[in-house]
Structure 1
Amino acid sequence: MAITALIIDDEELAREELKYLLDSEGGVDVLAQGTNGIEAVDLIRTHKPDVVFLDVQMPGLDGFAVLKKLLDRDHKEPLPQIIFATAYDQYAVRAFDVNAIDYLLKPFERTRVLQALDRARIRLQEIEPAPFSGDTRIGELLRLIEQQQQPQRSHSGKIVLQAHGRLLLVDQKDICFASIDEGIISVVTPTIEGHSKCRTLEELLDLLEPAVFWRAHRSYVVNINHIKEVVPWFKSSYQLRMDDKKQTEIPVSRAQTRRLRELFKL
């Protein structure tokens, strides 16, 4: 009987490469593919696969956040076998190499993929699935990962953005604004628009210079040096017209109106 699997990765080439390797091996039925963590949670709950090939770094919810969300909400359903995928050695920590967990480094090697599949088959045959909430090994792993992934607060001059299948280094001073929608953070500069690997705007703000970047709204962070115009709006509210190509208008929340007036002496 074939193993059922999901592939979750925000890089199309990585998904295609892994799908090709699994198809050529045989005995694996790839039920669906997803491009981000939000899709991952929905697909896992819908298809209940045996194995999930889960990218570590994705916009919005990363691989670790997907596991956390499943652990938090699903108390009775068994946890599928999770095989992490990552392009970065720093995430291939020893903690991955515990029961019910494996990892693959990109670009994928055929022998390593087959090894991970063999481990998954053994686990599926020998171990009765445990409910999410009772899997102490997974909980311990997540705690270890959290300790190793504390937000960097150095406020370095560069931010990494994913755009057009590439990882670009962008100067903070060039960032016009960032926004979050359905867990995915978009970052806009005068010339490009990309996605941040951060999971929340709070996490992104930890990387940015606090004297320059301002949380004007719960869904927006703006660079005050890229505000082109302050536009009066309804009921003593305001919008900010930015200097990006689209001259995007960003709402200012009522809670931040006072801060706006202080910034620009309105």
Structure 2
Amino acid sequence: MKAVIIEDEEIIAKVLENKIKKVAPDVDVVHVLPSLKTARKWFGENAEPDLLFMDIQLSDGVSFDIFNDFSLKCPVIFTTAYDEYAIRAFKVNGVDYLLKPVKETELAAAIDKGRKLLGKNEKPPADLAELIKSLANPSGSSKYKEKFIVNVRNQWMPINTKDIACFSKEVLNYIYLMNGEKYMIDYVTLEEVEELLDPRQFCRANRQFIINIEAIQTVKPVENSKLIIKLKEPNHKLEIDMSRLKSPEFKKWMDR
């Protein structure tokens, strides 16, 4: 069984490859692809493998974008550095999410799932296909992220970016929707999130918050050279501070 790894950290990729050889000697890793760019080139020139190991966050984008360009039918095992309990919520039949550093027992189980899919000649489950479809942007009309995926009662649900009032860095990263709902998102830092957003629509207020211009109720100068940004209901209890040094730029951003 031939496999390909998409992973931008060379050491992590090598460790994963060694573990694959240990738990599944019949799986031959034919190539390690370190970026979206190299992955696109490789899949454009080669037949898809029997099994694909794919990191989620790459140095040049999100690995889901691969599916915008190629209709891959092979089982996919995603890997991520996120919290273990979040990962358990994203289990899907036939494919898997593995927490970094990958445990050999979980890796063996994931490979077995892929092996069974291949043996039955089945396609990936519909919910994964729908997820990939929701993340795709066939028209190519926007270079910014249009949807984020959240977990709701053990199901993946796409959220339109325009419906997000703000992104918040707490113990983990969360989004607050315009209707007040709050969900965790699978991103390690707000810096990663910020790069995916339209800067005309979203502004980095401070280290903890990225805000949607449509969610702002008022901005008030206060003591200690700060601005207090108050969001519209039902998120009005969120008062977000910003340095006055950013005041001229922020006002220009708001004054369209």
The TM-score bracket by the shorter chain reads 0.5 to 0.7
Unaligned runs of 5+ in 1: 159-166, 171-194, 211-258
After superposition, where does 1:1-266 map in structure 2 within 5 Å? 3-25=1-23, 26-45=25-44, 46-67=46-67, 69-70=68-69, 73-74=70-71, 78-89=72-83, 92=87, 94-98=89-93, 100-129=94-123, 136-142=126-132, 143=134, 146-148=148-150, 154=166, 196=192, 200=196, 202=198, 206=202, 208-209=204-205
One-letter amino acid of the counterpart of residue 202, structure 1: D
- The whole-number CA distance in structure 2 between the counterparts of 1:204 and 1:57 is 24
Cα offset for 1:49? Answer: 0.4
One-letter amino acid of the counterpart of residue 154, structure 1: C
What number of residue pairs does the alignment pair up?
170
Cα offset for 1:19? Answer: 0.7
- The whole-number CA distance in structure 2 between the counterparts of 1:79 and 1:203 is 35
3-state SS, counterpart of residue 58 of structure 2: coil
* Root mean square deviation of aligned Cα: 4.0
- The whole-number CA distance in structure 2 between the counterparts of 1:23 and 1:147 is 32
- The whole-number CA distance in structure 1 between the counterparts of 2:38 and 2:49 is 14
Unaligned runs of 5+ in 2: 136-146, 151-157, 171-186, 207-248
Question: Are the structure 2 counterparts of residues 18 and 43 from structure 1 closer, same or farther at C-alpha, using a change threshold of 3 Å?
Answer: same
- The whole-number CA distance in structure 1 between the counterparts of 2:188 and 2:123 is 41
- The whole-number CA distance in structure 1 between the counterparts of 2:102 and 2:4 is 16
Cα offset for 1:116? Answer: 0.8
- The whole-number CA distance in structure 2 between the counterparts of 1:208 and 1:126 is 48
TM-score by length of 2: 0.53
Percent identity of equivalent pairs: 24
- Where relative contact order (Cα < 8 A, 6+ residues apart) is larger, the structure is 1
Cα offset for 1:81? Answer: 0.8
- The whole-number CA distance in structure 2 between the counterparts of 1:97 and 1:103 is 8
CA deviations over 1:55-102 (Å, ceiling 9, x no partner): 0112333122223x14xx54xxx511100001102752534323x321
Question: Are the structure 2 counterparts of residues 110 and 22 from structure 1 closer, same or farther at C-alpha, using a change threshold of 3 Å?
Answer: same
One-letter amino acid of the counterpart of residue 208, structure 1: R
TM-score by length of 1: 0.51
Question: Are the structure 2 counterparts of residues 42 and 155 from structure 1 closer, same or farther at C-alpha, using a change threshold of 3 Å?
Answer: same
Question: Would you tell me which structure has more helix in proportion to its own residues?
Answer: 1
One-letter amino acid of the counterpart of residue 166, structure 2: S
- The whole-number CA distance in structure 1 between the counterparts of 2:193 and 2:43 is 22
- Whether contact under 8 Å (2:55, 2:79) holds in the other structure is yes
3-state SS, counterpart of residue 107 of structure 1: coil
